[in-house]
Structure 1
Amino acid sequence: MHSSGWWRYISYDESKGKAQIDRELLWRVFGYARPHLFAVAIVLVTIVTNSLLELLPPLLYRELIDHVLPERNMTRLNWLALGLLAIPLATGLISVVNRYYSSRAGEGIIHDLRQQMYGHLQAMSLRFFTETKSGEIYSRLNNDVVGAQNAITGTIPNILTNSVTLISTLAVMISIEWRLAVLAVIVLPLFLLPARRVALILRNIRRAAMEHQTDMSNSISETLTINGALLVKTFGRQQQELARFGKANAAVRDIGVRRAQVGQWFFLGLGSASAIGTALIYWAGGYLVLQETISVGTIVAFVAYLSRLYGPITALTNVQVEFATSMVSFERVFEWLDLPIEIMDKPEAIALDKVQGRVRFDAVSFRYGGNEAQGEPAKKDAGANGPAEQDEIDDDAEPVRERLWALENVNFEMAPGELVALVGPSGA
Structure 2
Amino acid sequence: MGFHRGGWFSYIRYDDQSEKPGINKELISRVWEYARPYWFQVASLLITILAISGISLISPLLYRDLIDNAIPNRDFGRLNWLALGMIAIPLLNGLIGVWQRRLNSSIGEGVIYDLRRNLYSHLQRMSLRFFTGTRTGELMSRLNNDVIGAQRAISNTLVTIISNVVTLVATLIIMITLEWRLTLLGLAILPLFFFPARRVGKILRDLRRRSLEHNAEMNASMNETLNVSGALLVKLFGREDQELNRFGNNAKEVRDIGIRSAVVGHWFFMLLSVVSAVGSAVVFWIGGHLVLRGEFTIGTIVAFGTYLSQMYGPLMALTNAQVQFAESMVSFERVFEVLDVPVEIKETEDPITIPIIDGLVKFDRVSFGYHAAEGEKIGLDEIARLSWRGNTEAFLKRGEDKPADGLTDDDRPGSLRFALDVVSFTINPGELVALVGPSGAGKTTVTYLLPRLYDPSSGSILIDGRNIKGYSLKTLANTIGMVTQETYLFYDTIRANLLYA
TM-score for the superposition, normalised by structure 1: 0.87
Counterpart pick for 1:161 among 154, 160, 163 = 163
Report what 2:388 is aligned to.
Answer: none
Distance 2:100 2:156 in 1: 12
Distance 1:337 1:306 in 2: 45
Whether contact under 8 Å (1:39, 1:101) holds in the other structure is yes
TM-aligned CA deviation for residue 360 of structure 1: 4.8
Report what 2:260 is aligned to.
Answer: 258
Report what 1:43 is aligned to.
Answer: 45
Distance 1:338 1:399 in 2: 32
Matched, 1:64 2:75: no
Distance 1:400 1:24 in 2: 40
Distance 2:376 2:334 in 1: 19
Report what 2:362 is aligned to.
Answer: 362
Counterpart AA for 1:271: S
Distance 2:10 2:229 in 1: 28
- Any residues of structure 2 matched to 1:241-256 within 5 Å, and which? 241-256=243-258
Report what 1:333 is aligned to.
Answer: 335
Distance 1:281 1:185 in 2: 10
Q: 1:248 to 1:104 in 2, by over 3 A?
A: same
- Higher helix residue share: 1
Q: How far does the alpha carbon of each residue in 1:66-94 deviate from its partner, in whole angstroms, 9 at most, with x for none?
A: 11111111221121111111111111111
Q: How far does the alpha carbon of each residue in 1:223-276 deviate from its partner, in whole angstroms, 9 at most, with x for none?
A: 011111112122222222111111111111111111112112111211110111
Counterpart AA for 2:305: V
Report what 1:382 is aligned to.
Answer: none
Q: How far does the alpha carbon of each residue in 1:20-40 deviate from its partner, in whole angstroms, 9 at most, with x for none?
A: 111111111112121111100
Classify the secondary structure of the residue corresponding to 1:2.
coil
Counterpart pick for 2:408 among 398, 418, 423 = 398
Distance 1:235 1:14 in 2: 38
Whether contact under 8 Å (1:9, 1:339) holds in the other structure is no
Any unmatched runs of 5+ in structure 1? Answer: 378-393
Whether contact under 8 Å (1:169, 1:309) holds in the other structure is yes
Counterpart AA for 1:398: T
Aligned CA RMSD, in angstroms, stands at: 2.9
Distance 2:224 2:434 in 1: 29
Q: How far does the alpha carbon of each residue in 1:78-123 deviate from its partner, in whole angstroms, 9 at most, with x for none?
A: 2111111111111111111111111111111111111111111111
Q: 1:182 to 1:224 in 2, by over 3 A?
A: same
Report what 2:206 is aligned to.
Answer: 204
Distance 1:413 1:304 in 2: 87
Counterpart pick for 2:32 among 27, 30, 33 = 30
Q: How far does the alpha carbon of each residue in 1:142-200 deviate from its partner, in whole angstroms, 9 at most, with x for none?
A: 11111111110110011001111111111111111112212211111111110111111
Whether contact under 8 Å (2:367, 2:418) holds in the other structure is no
Distance 2:351 2:25 in 1: 38
Whether contact under 8 Å (2:48, 2:97) holds in the other structure is yes
Counterpart AA for 1:318: N
The answer to which structure, 1 or 2, has the higher relative contact order (CA under 8 A, 6+ apart) is 1
Report what 1:189 is aligned to.
Answer: 191
Q: 1:422 to 1:77 in 2, by over 3 A?
A: farther
Q: Which moved more, 1:396-405 or 1:302-311?
A: 396-405
Whether contact under 8 Å (2:3, 2:11) holds in the other structure is no
Any unmatched runs of 5+ in structure 2? Answer: 379-402, 412-416, 440-484, 487-501
Whether contact under 8 Å (2:367, 2:419) holds in the other structure is no
Classify the secondary structure of the residue corresponding to 1:362.
strand
Report what 1:215 is aligned to.
Answer: 217
Classify the secondary structure of the residue corresponding to 1:136.
helix
Distance 1:103 1:344 in 2: 36
Whether contact under 8 Å (2:161, 2:318) holds in the other structure is yes
Q: Which moved more, 1:368-377 or 1:268-277?
A: 368-377
Distance 1:216 1:33 in 2: 31
Matched, 1:230 2:238: no
TM-aligned CA deviation for residue 361 of structure 1: 4.0
Whether contact under 8 Å (2:60, 2:303) holds in the other structure is yes
Q: 1:24 to 1:2 in 2, by over 3 A?
A: same
TM-aligned CA deviation for residue 425 of structure 1: 5.5
Counterpart AA for 2:274: S
Classify the secondary structure of the residue corresponding to 1:205.
helix
Whether contact under 8 Å (2:116, 2:143) holds in the other structure is yes
Q: 1:395 to 1:198 in 2, by over 3 A?
A: closer
Q: 1:69 to 1:107 in 2, by over 3 A?
A: same
Classify the secondary structure of the residue corresponding to 2:408.
coil
Classify the secondary structure of the residue corresponding to 1:32.
helix
Report what 2:97 is aligned to.
Answer: 95
Whether contact under 8 Å (1:361, 1:411) holds in the other structure is yes
Counterpart AA for 1:362: K
Counterpart AA for 1:133: R
Aligned residues: 408
Distance 1:308 1:113 in 2: 36
Q: 1:272 to 1:319 in 2, by over 3 A?
A: same
Counterpart AA for 1:2: F
Report what 2:111 is aligned to.
Answer: 109
Classify the secondary structure of the residue corresponding to 2:71.
helix
Q: 1:21 to 1:371 in 2, by over 3 A?
A: closer
Q: 1:38 to 1:371 in 2, by over 3 A?
A: closer
TM-aligned CA deviation for residue 325 of structure 1: 0.7
Q: 1:424 to 1:305 in 2, by over 3 A?
A: farther
Whether contact under 8 Å (2:9, 2:138) holds in the other structure is no
TM-aligned CA deviation for residue 424 of structure 1: 7.0
Counterpart AA for 2:57: L
Q: Which moved more, 1:168-177 or 1:12-21?
A: 12-21
Distance 1:404 1:323 in 2: 48
Report what 1:298 is aligned to.
Answer: 300
Distance 1:371 1:274 in 2: 59
Counterpart AA for 2:195: L
Whether contact under 8 Å (1:371, 1:400) holds in the other structure is no
Counterpart AA for 2:35: A
Distance 2:123 2:19 in 1: 28
Matched, 1:137 2:139: yes
Report what 1:2 is aligned to.
Answer: 3
Q: 1:235 to 1:403 in 2, by over 3 A?
A: farther
Counterpart AA for 2:130: F
